[in-house]
Structure 1
Amino acid sequence: MRLSAGALPGSDAVNTHIDIEAVVERNPDAIIKVGEDGAAPQWQAPGAAELAARKQRLAARPGWDHIKAVQDDHVLIMSQYVQGGAAKIIGTLYIAKFLYPEQLPDLHPEDVFRYWVEHYQHKEYQPGHTLPAFPLTGAPQ
């Protein structure tokens, strides 16, 4: 998996615009979407309904119904809050668990996120920052 600059169609070290036609041509097995165009990152969770609407808008792009990831429902939608700033490591945990659940059975990103929100952000934990949702195990992280 390449995550370096230029790995995404239409991107480079400065430009993160993605050519949606090139995505169709590459036919990825998985798609990960962070945030929403024009939406500011915020602590409050967008919730399941908003994340589902974002996923639906993504899948409705021209030609995307032919992409394997969309057909197989292998799409991860994340709020900007779990992937921005100091939370980048938490977003990476969600992505790792999404892509490799069998190899990471003991990884529980929602538990890590909850701990980070409560202990470092001093905020009340809110579920609803990812679709699919990741369960809490209740185990301390």
Structure 2
Amino acid sequence: MLDMSWGEVMLIGGVALIVIGPKDLPKALRTLGQVTTKVRRMAGEFQHQFSEAIREAELDEVRRDVEGVKRTVDAAKPGFNPVDTIRNEIRSAVEGRTPTSAAPTPATSAAPPKETGSFDVPRPSAEQQTAAASSTASKTETGPTP
């Protein structure tokens, strides 16, 4: 605590015995003990309040971070439906067209559509398919032309 050896404590006790006197020494030691207890208690309360203030400051910072994330999520909620977005992307990939969402979100309405990596190949109509099939059939019936 104060790094005093037994010799130093004995010296202080001897000086106190001479200065205070043997009659008042027990009363003085009791008062010294009470003062020391009060000082320790006040130091403990100060340390507790200080650490509590630090915890509250950290909690306020965490609370602000959580509120910021919550505001971000709430801002994206009205137009964001992940199930519909995935369903529309799969449907558009199968049908061979660019994806469109049921409810445009603020992020997707301002940005150009992303390329999905698939190529849009025009499919021939039913009439074009029948015309191609008939021309192929007529070439095989007549044989190759010289």
The structure with more radius of gyration: 2
With normalisation by structure 1, the TM-score equals: 0.16
Q: Which has the higher contact order (CA 8 A, sep 6+)?
A: 1
Larger strand percent: 1
Larger helix percent: 2
